[in-house]
Amino acid sequence: MYFVSSQIIRSLTSYLASQGLNKEHLLNNITQEGQQLNNSRYKYPLADYEQLMAIGAKHLNRNTVGLEFGQALNAQN
């Protein structure tokens, strides 16, 4: 099983919320319902990341959500 950091999940949910999606709806679709977002040591299953990306692509009707998220992260650094 593969994992991603809580920081990535937190950033992705924030990004998708900034694009107009409901953050609570997003968090209800992942492990722990986002309860570990502020725990920098917690690792979410990769499936949660994939689920959030799929929700974003579907509800925003954009297949490039992953690329856009990456660009947004890059712009922050």
What is the per-residue pLDDT across 26-46, written as a single tens digit (0 to 9) for each? 999 998 888 999 999 999 999
**CA 13 to CA 1: how far, in whole Å?**
22
What is the per-residue pLDDT across 6-24, written as a single tens digit (0 to 9) for each? 999 999 999 999 999 999 9
What is the per-residue pLDDT across 41-77, written as a single tens digit (0 to 9) for each? 999 999 999 999 999 999 999 999 999 999 998 887 6
Q: Where are the domains of the chain?
A: 3-76
- Residue 45: phi and psi, rounded to 5, are -60, 140
